[in-house]
Amino acid sequence: MRRLLGAPERPGPPLGRIQDPYGFRCVPQIHGPARDAADALESALAVEINAAAENPLIFPGTEKDPIPAAYHHGGFYLAQIALALDHFRLSLVQTARLSTSRLSALNEPGFTRLRPFLADAEPASSGVMILEYAAGAALGDLRAYAAPASLGHAVLSRGVEEQASFASLAARQTLRLTDAYRLVVGCELVAAVRALRQRGLRPEPGLPVGRAFELAEIALEEAVVDRPLTDDVTTAAALLDRFTELADTAEYEATYEAGRAPAAEPTDHHPRGIA
């Protein structure tokens, strides 16, 4: 995260408050497990995609053993995929909660030094207030879709098939969850870009966050007058794939540079999960 944001190794304390909300403080501890869950899902998929899952497996016979045979087995049972998908969805709900926390902070003058809801100067302007409602509703969808599909149970075929992984249900729930997740993060992005514009702040262009801001600044309308924000959120959600490419490129570049640099001396003074 420091590499993406250009943050110092030893940041100073937050101005005017003792500590920051969890939405800022707990990113490594919550996004880290989500990345681990994504890696575990990718590994499970790589195994299953290359597995011979057809049932039965047919042995056609050979010259030495000419008698063909059909072997019934349980290789089709995708418990690992179902569990990995369930784990992944639950981890994304945690990160989405952080996103709504940061969105709430962006509406607070105590954090932004701007007007409530990042509104303009007109009386009774609501600014981006509605985004909290949209993100909250999407978070409700996330919680519903995160329910573990692997808890399902079925007894079929006169009791011979007395169990089911429900991996296909887990996959469908994951697809639905990702749409709601994009909406949550899109709401945060719209508010974050507006806050930076109103403060006259621009991230360093050479940093991944700076390049992401440039993309968002081009795509998102600059006007702050009260208006429907549906198009803004849709546009912001569509930018997330581009942001992922920027983050992946930054990670590759950092790994490449680390491989060229001499090994650093080991240290033990960094808090767990931050270093």
Per-residue pLDDT of 61-87, as tens digits, reads 999 999 999 999 988 999 999 999 999
Q: Taking 50 as the threshold, does the pLDDT of residue 271 lie above it?
A: no
Q: What is the mean pLDDT of the chain?
A: 90
Do residues 71 and 57 touch, judged by C-beta distance below 8 A? yes
> 3-class SS at 161?
strand
CATH classification (class only), 19-51+73-259: mainly alpha
93: closest CA among 146, 14, 155? 146
- pTM equals 0.85
> 3-class SS at 23?
helix
* Beta strands, E only, the chain: 57-59, 69-71
Amino acid letter, 21: P
pLDDT value of residue 263: 53
> Could you tell me which residues are beta bridge partners of residue 58?
70
pLDDT value of residue 133: 98
| 175-216 confidence digits (pLDDT tens) | 999 999 999 999 999 999 999 999 999 999 989 999 999 999
Please provide the DSSP assignment of 44-98 as one string.
HHHHHHTS---SSEEE---SSS---EEE--STT--HHHHHHHHHHHHHHHHHHHH
User: Average pLDDT for residues 139-165, to the nearest whole number?
Assistant: 92
Q: What are φ and ψ of residue 65, in 5° steps? A: -130, 80
Q: Where are the domains of the chain?
A: 19-51+73-259
Please give the angle made by the CA atoms of 118, 18 and 126, to the nearest 5 degrees.
15
88: closest CA among 22, 39, 23? 39
Whole-angstrom Cα distance, residue 12 to residue 21?
15
> 3-class SS at 157?
helix
The DSSP secondary-structure symbol of 123 reads: T
